Structure 1
Amino acid sequence: MKLNTSWAKLFFSFLFFGGMASSCQFYHDTTAHYNAHFLADERMKEVEEKIFNAYQDNYNEILQVLPPLDTNATAAYKADFDYCIKTASIPIQFHSQSKWTDDCYIIVGKARMYQGDFANALTTFKYVNTESDDDNARHQALILLMRIFIANNDKKSVLFTANYLAKEEKVSDENARDFYTMMAHYYRQQNNLPKTVEYIEKALPYVNNRRMKTKFYFIAAQIQQQLGNDAKAYEYYNEVLKRNPPYEMTFNAQINSSRALSMDNADAVAKGEKYLKNLLTDEKNKEYLDKVYYELGSFEARRNNAQRAIEYLKESLIANSGNSGQKIASYLKLGQVYYELKKDYPKSVNYYDSAFSLMSENSSNYQKVKRQLEVLRSFAEYYTMVSEADRLLKLSAMSESDREAFIEKEMQAEREALEQERLFYLSSKKRIANKQATSNLTPSLIANNPNEKKWYFYNPVAKETGELNFFRVWGNRPLEDHWRRSQKTSISVPTNNQTDNTLVQNLNTNRPDNQVDNSTEKINGVEIKSKKERLAKIPTTSEAIIKTKEDLQKGLLELGKMYYLLKENEKAQETLMRFVKEFPNNPLAPEAVFTLIRICKDTKDCDVSQYEKMLKENYASSSYAKSLDNKNFFREVKAQDSVVNRLYEEAYALYQTEQYTQAFNALKNIEKNYPESHLADKIKLLSAMLMVKTSDDLEEVEQMLGQFLSENKNSELVPLAQSLLDNIKKKRGGE
């Protein structure tokens, strides 16, 4: 019986302590979940929704899937994040055995992530991934790790984590949604649009939040449209419009649908134009007039109507009231129109430059625009160099009276162009202001009694009229003391952002003050050079004409190469052929002909043999001609250059250690074995420097340096050689 009693006691002990353990677990789970975890989780969801909704979408580009992790944007929620960390830490400290502890760690990690504390957030998420037994918590931690890796541009870690997650089984619908969303976010950052839309479409079935789902449909529509899938894009835009989105998204969905029109369908084009113009009169669009004008400009550009496109795009800038994204888009489109349709390359650069100055480094097309701008700046530099050299040489061949007549006509044309721009600005500004003012009129301002007097500043139409009258007389004067004075002491320092010389900046200037001084005329903020300045630049001496022709030669060669870089092969051929025909003895002519061969090979129905014949017959001794028969020629030259570099460095080291005889012999050997090396100018100058150190015959040294300068005018060593020559001349003068 004792044995049976002992077993009975043991059995009831297990029941008692097991029940106590179960009760404790229930207590910890319930207390952790419905108190601290619930409060922290609800606050985190609330803040995340605010961050998602507060992000300012730029509808001029493909929308971002998720807002970037920007501490400036999340700083306002610091108190909320601190609350989340403090509250979620309670179960971690006092209910560590609760099954909700992992979820509390997730909340703490999120709070740290949003505050920019990536190091601690990473540690937290990695802890959950390695220590948790809950697959849902582990998957959520891995997805959040991906978000930090994306923010850090750690592509390798993003893809490694994604591949790991893709192999996991039993992923919850919520985590599937977040994973697909995160992958779409990653590929959007990489500007990989096909992959972005692929994951957006995978995420859509799992998204329940109405606002997020609508946005995802809109992004999918944008990408499908950009990829040329207009039918699919139209379907998605309809889904957006069915969901009653905010008006800005509705407006852009309707606008984007009109972009799918084919310019070959006259009826559709007419309907599209009518639709866009009707948007200008819709009161709901008063905040989006800049966008409507932009779309009209883009529409006219597609019709190759450059002048009308430019006018609409400039009106977009005038109507803009602080939307930097739209302003950037308008500047870029103007730059594109001036480049592609008007062929006005300097103006194109100005507008690209204005757009770039407003862009953030985080913009998706920042690097693309930066590269375009760098190329266009170089292109415009050489284009202007050629145009100006041609102009000056033309003027130099005229009689004095013809020059003056030409310049007066040139100045008058500039004045008229600026006056037309001013009038266009004023009329556009008034028209746009009236549209906005009409929309803003309250019932009291359009009451039945038209004679009823109202205070001036309550009447937007009267205000606008007064503003325009003031502008006509005084220009856009800042609100400051002594505003009537044209000459005021200024202590302002220009910034990098003051490089925008385009429409709005040029016209907001002091129009009455046309005369800055006796030699400079100023209209709408643009200086017009005086006749005296223009005449002074005309080359009249043989030396000045030679210098202008040198500029022309350099400009033609570089401009031809820039055209080739921009894939404008016809203009590249035309420019380089002019260079070769007008300056056949230029040392760089063989390079120009060789470039023509390369262009011809890339151009349909082009006869390469004509350029090969020209190169062989006229420049047979050039390395470019030799390369035609020896396909390995440039590879051999590269190997030879490497040898010459080493030998020259050894000779220069001997010079530095004052072993002048050995250095001189080393240079002689290089000249003997490699007479046409790429370092010929350096070798000759170092030989002259050795003469300075070892010879007492200053006249011989002077002749040697003079010969170097005459034979190597384009060398980067010219300033050093000139300095040495000046010192020698001083020494000889003191003899």
Structure 2
Amino acid sequence: MKQIILNKNTTLIIKAFLLTLLLVSGSACQFYHDTATHYNSYFLAREGMEQLELDLFNEHVDDYNDVLSILIPIDTNKTLSHKEQLDFIITKASRPIKFHKSSEWIDECYLLVGWVRLYEEDYENSLTTFKYVNAKFNDENSRHAALNALLRMFIEKKEEGNITLVKDIIKQQKAPYNKENTKDYHLNLAHYYRNKNDFKQSIAHLRLVVDLEQKKHLRSRYYFILGQMYEKTGVINDAYKAYSTAEKISKTNDLEFQSDISAYSMQPVDFSDEKQTKKIKKYFDKKLKDHNNWDNRDKIYYEMAQFEMRKPDYDKALSFFNESIQVSTSNQIQKGHSYWESGKIYYTEKKDYIAAAAYYDSAVQNFDESVYGFEDIKKRSENLQELAKYTKIVQENERLLSLYEMNEEERKEFLEKEIEEEKEELILKQQYAIENEKKKEKPVTAKSQSFSNKESKEFYFYNTNALAQGKAQFLRIWGSRPLEDNWRRSNKMEFSGAANTNNQTANNNQKPTSSNKKKDKNDEASNEDLFAGLKTMDQRIAEIPTTDEELKKVHKALADGIFELGKVYFYRMKINEEALNNFYRFLDEYPNDENAHEVAYLVYVICQEDESCDEEEAKQYLIENYPDCLYSKILLNPNYVKETNERENYIKDLYASAYQLYLEKQYNQSDIKLNELLNDFPQSAYEEKGRFLRVLLIGRTTKYYQTFKDALNGYLLAYPSGEFSDTAKGMLEEITERRLENGYIPGRYHDYEITTE
């Protein structure tokens, strides 16, 4: 009995030991899975994701003249070049999911997998992964991170319905967001509203982000974007503060430089205080003189122009935008913005649409499709090109009419002056191009001279390259001078190294040398090439109308040009004032033109919305001057179109009935229908068909060839090139002289079947 009790105690002890061992083993196993996941696979995958995002950030090219993208846009063309990194993250993040399913870090691994799929634009798998994390895991932080990721994905896809849905779900979350998820949520919404150009909403969210962001390169970027959006919304003081903060904490040269010059262009200033404006000007001048800023001069001039826009002094702004364009070397986007801003000034402020057209066209040529608002810029450029096209047509035909009115002497004087002005313009363009190239040449500084070059230890006078550079610099500053005392004097004459100094003279009126003559000839030849595309005097005279027919053509071309120009202003540019000016001119000068009734109607349409003209007056003008046009009939009878359609349908049915009766050999009934068609509805669309059907009826009912022949000739006389003229001629050929002599049509004319539908 005792032995049995002992065995029972032993059994209990063993069971207790085994249970304890099992619990310890389970705890150790869980610890192993958590540790292996956290500090091995998940750690490596997370580090890989951080490196990938840093690489994408560094590779992104910013356009500082537009509000920067708050989040780097997802673009598979760029992310797929990092395929090895993406595959590495997937491999490492997937391993715990497969081998350590009980680890508490599995939800983070799923999130990393979802982000890889999102960067690959594999939206279906990304959506599935993030929804799985939100639905299956209890960790609130992971669920919130998944919701943020879903929000980012729908923002990238521009799915407004799903964006609203996720925002509502996030608002319903009971558990508070941690700092990281709070930051990501506001980043997403700041990015979303920035893309919609709702800068006030974007600012509200981004201001919350800058206090939560720990990484300096991102924090400085967000402050810079805040500055840009404050500038866009006209809050200049806050823009200045944001730019200044960005400049202080920036760790990248580009952002620091851009923040610096943007801060100065937005600096609060009283423009009536000359001292303050001079301080800003002095700052920009210093920046321009700094050799290190040589490649950024286009940006500096651009900010100088923006500063002038604040005054506003649009002429100075245009001058600085032009300088920015000239000194730009490789930054096409920057050049495009300078063209675009100039175009906007000409378009909005100066109302010079021809100049605006040229600048907008250049902007489109320099931009690429990634520039925000590119399609709108391109559309306006196309509209302006149309406007410029018809403006030039109008101007050219006005010129021809003006020349037509001149006498021969006035005409010759006008054309000679015109040719001279065109030549001067070409010369100025050539000089502008030369100056433009000179401005792009980087000047040689003391640091760049060979004798100061730290990389070269060779004695200066033994270095042929250094000697050549030194000589070139001397000639540029002092010119070519003899080796003698007082060589710095300004009245020293230039000399040729091969010439004898005794032949020099201070007389500036010396005769030209053969080399000068050769140079003059070269200049003349160069100018001939430059002017080769200009029209000659004879060509210009030949364009002037000399006959009434030629004069009519010029007037018609002018009328069409004014008409089309007015339509461009009305339909494409939405500038009613200019449209009315052109339409009024058209009606005044060409009231009998074929398009006059349409122009009068367009004036009426504009006056319905524009208070600058009287709607009723425009309506009466149209009705009184063009009563037979469709527009007048509609204005007099609003049901005109409906009634006309009903009338046309009745006429069509009337003809169809007459033709069907003809086919059924009910000739008398068919003739009754034809009489109604031809008598009650003259000049209808079915008149010719009805008259030819009448000819066929005569052929079926008359007894004599002559009667039928007369009917055919009557049709051909009325419709020599009609729809059935060839058929009628064929029938006439069948009526021979012999048949006419016989006179009688045996069995009437049954040997010709014809369809008139």
Match of 2:192 in 1: 186
Q: Kindly indicate whether residue 456 of structure 2 is the aligned counterpart of residue 455 of structure 1.
A: no
Q: Secondary structure at the match of 1:528?
A: coil
Superposed CA deviations along residues 537-590 of structure 1, whole A, max 9, x for unmatched, are: 333333333232222222223323444564645433332221121112235435
Out of 39, 44, 56, which is 2:44 matched to? 39
Contact 1:180 1:202 (8 Å CA) reproduced: yes
Unaligned runs of 5+ in 2: 477-522, 665-669, 697-711, 730-757
Q: Kindly indicate whether residue 376 of structure 2 is the aligned counterpart of residue 377 of structure 1.
A: no
Q: Kindly indicate whether residue 239 of structure 2 is the aligned counterpart of residue 233 of structure 1.
A: yes
Hey, what's the Cα distance between the residues in 2 that align with 1:334 and 1:270? 24
Hey, what's the Cα distance between the residues in 2 that align with 1:231 and 1:704? 79
Hey, what's the Cα distance between the residues in 2 that align with 1:641 and 1:6? 109
Superposed CA deviations along residues 32-67 of structure 1, whole A, max 9, x for unmatched, are: 111111011112112212212331111010000111
Answer with 17-26 or 36-45: which moved more.
17-26
Match of 2:405 in 1: 397
Out of 580, 584, 591, which is 1:584 matched to? 591
Out of 217, 221, 244, which is 1:211 matched to? 217
Hey, what's the Cα distance between the residues in 1 that align with 2:370 and 2:655? 47
Contact 1:395 1:403 (8 Å CA) reproduced: yes
Contact 2:190 2:206 (8 Å CA) reproduced: yes
Match of 2:332 in 1: 324
Q: Using a 3 Å threshold, how does the CA distance of structure 1 residues 133 and 535 change in structure 2: closer, same or farther? A: farther
Hey, what's the Cα distance between the residues in 2 that align with 1:15 and 1:358? 76
Q: Using a 3 Å threshold, how does the CA distance of structure 1 residues 672 and 91 change in structure 2: closer, same or farther? A: farther
Q: What pairs with 1:492-503 in structure 2 (closer than 5 Å)?
A: none
Match of 1:155 in 2: 160
Hey, what's the Cα distance between the residues in 2 that align with 1:653 and 1:208? 85
Larger Rg, first or second structure (1 or 2): 2
Contact 1:521 1:530 (8 Å CA) reproduced: no
Unaligned runs of 5+ in 1: 467-509, 706-723, 730-735
Per-residue deviation, 1:600: 5.4
Per-residue deviation, 1:442: 5.0
Q: Using a 3 Å threshold, how does the CA distance of structure 1 residues 301 and 225 change in structure 2: closer, same or farther? A: closer
Q: Using a 3 Å threshold, how does the CA distance of structure 1 residues 236 and 302 change in structure 2: closer, same or farther? A: closer
RMSD between superposed Cα atoms in Å: 4.7
Superposed CA deviations along residues 500-541 of structure 1, whole A, max 9, x for unmatched, are: xxxxxxxxxx9976667xxx944xxxx434444434433333
Answer with 269-278 or 637-646: which moved more.
637-646
Out of 346, 358, 367, which is 1:350 matched to? 358
Q: Secondary structure at the match of 2:170?
A: helix
Larger relative contact order (CA 8 Å, sep ≥ 6): 1
Match of 2:78 in 1: 73
Matched residue count: 642
Answer with 173-182 or 154-163: which moved more.
154-163
Amino acid at match of 2:587: V
Amino acid at match of 2:69: Q
Q: Using a 3 Å threshold, how does the CA distance of structure 1 residues 649 and 139 change in structure 2: closer, same or farther? A: farther
Hey, what's the Cα distance between the residues in 2 that align with 1:57 and 1:380? 33
Q: Using a 3 Å threshold, how does the CA distance of structure 1 residues 594 and 30 change in structure 2: closer, same or farther? A: same
Match of 1:732 in 2: none
Provide the identity percentage: 30
Out of 276, 283, 291, which is 1:283 matched to? 291
TM-score (norm 2): 0.72
Out of 236, 253, 258, which is 1:252 matched to? 258
Q: What pairs with 1:45-124 in structure 2 (closer than 5 Å)?
A: 45-124=50-129
Q: Using a 3 Å threshold, how does the CA distance of structure 1 residues 669 and 143 change in structure 2: closer, same or farther? A: farther
TM-score (norm 1): 0.74
Contact 1:445 1:459 (8 Å CA) reproduced: no
Match of 1:418 in 2: 426
Hey, what's the Cα distance between the residues in 2 that align with 1:155 and 1:86? 33
Per-residue deviation, 1:194: 2.3
Q: Secondary structure at the match of 2:534?
A: strand
Hey, what's the Cα distance between the residues in 2 that align with 1:660 and 1:219? 82
Match of 1:170 in 2: 176
Q: Using a 3 Å threshold, how does the CA distance of structure 1 residues 165 and 625 change in structure 2: closer, same or farther? A: same
Hey, what's the Cα distance between the residues in 2 that align with 1:245 and 1:685? 85
Q: Using a 3 Å threshold, how does the CA distance of structure 1 residues 312 and 230 change in structure 2: closer, same or farther? A: closer
Match of 1:499 in 2: none
Hey, what's the Cα distance between the residues in 2 that align with 1:26 and 1:312? 67
Hey, what's the Cα distance between the residues in 2 that align with 1:118 and 1:14? 48
Contact 1:286 1:439 (8 Å CA) reproduced: no
Contact 1:298 1:333 (8 Å CA) reproduced: no
Q: Using a 3 Å threshold, how does the CA distance of structure 1 residues 406 and 689 change in structure 2: closer, same or farther? A: farther
Contact 2:677 2:687 (8 Å CA) reproduced: no
Per-residue deviation, 1:298: 4.7
Out of 444, 456, 459, which is 2:451 matched to? 444
Q: Using a 3 Å threshold, how does the CA distance of structure 1 residues 263 and 116 change in structure 2: closer, same or farther? A: same
Out of 95, 117, 137, which is 1:132 matched to? 137
Q: Secondary structure at the match of 1:37?
A: helix
Q: Using a 3 Å threshold, how does the CA distance of structure 1 residues 42 and 605 change in structure 2: closer, same or farther? A: same
